[in-house]
Amino acid sequence: MTAALSAERQLRVTVISPSAAAFSGTATSVIAPAHDGELGILYGHAPMIVLLGEGLLRIRTDDGPRRFRVARGFLQVLDNTVAVLAEEVEPAAEG
């Protein structure tokens, strides 16, 4: 896949808590802790709103993985945009 084609198939991702925006950028995939298990999101995912549980939010970017511990909130997917709104968001150690 060429870089131009790869850039066209990116998700726009925002992760915010009541106190701050933790991440805003593009990604190739997102794995989120839904209230009933993990949810994987790729380009072209169907629209949805999901209740978040507590766990590790993994975002794969062109610059490498980003990981956050999240707790309680919502995740929305719409038009290749993923919005994560969580009560608690903290960067997690890589690895």
Average per-residue pLDDT for the chain: 93
Domains in the chain, ordered, with CATH? 3-91 (2.60.15.10)
Identify the pLDDT of residue 8: 76
Identify the pLDDT of residue 7: 64
The H-or-E segment that residue 44 falls in is: none
Residue 2 predicted with pLDDT over 80 = no
Identify the pLDDT of residue 5: 46
- Range with the poorest average pLDDT among 26-30, 52-56, 90-94: 90-94
* For range 84-89, the mean pLDDT: 98
**pTM confidence score:** 0.89
Provide the terminal-to-terminal Cα distance of the chain, rounded to the nearest Å.
27
* For range 21-38, the mean pLDDT: 97
DSSP state of 22: E
* For range 70-87, the mean pLDDT: 98
Checking DSSP bridges between strand 64-78 and strand 55-61, what pairing results, if any? antiparallel
Torsion region of 47: left, alpha or beta (phi above 0 gives left; psi -120 to 50 gives alpha): beta
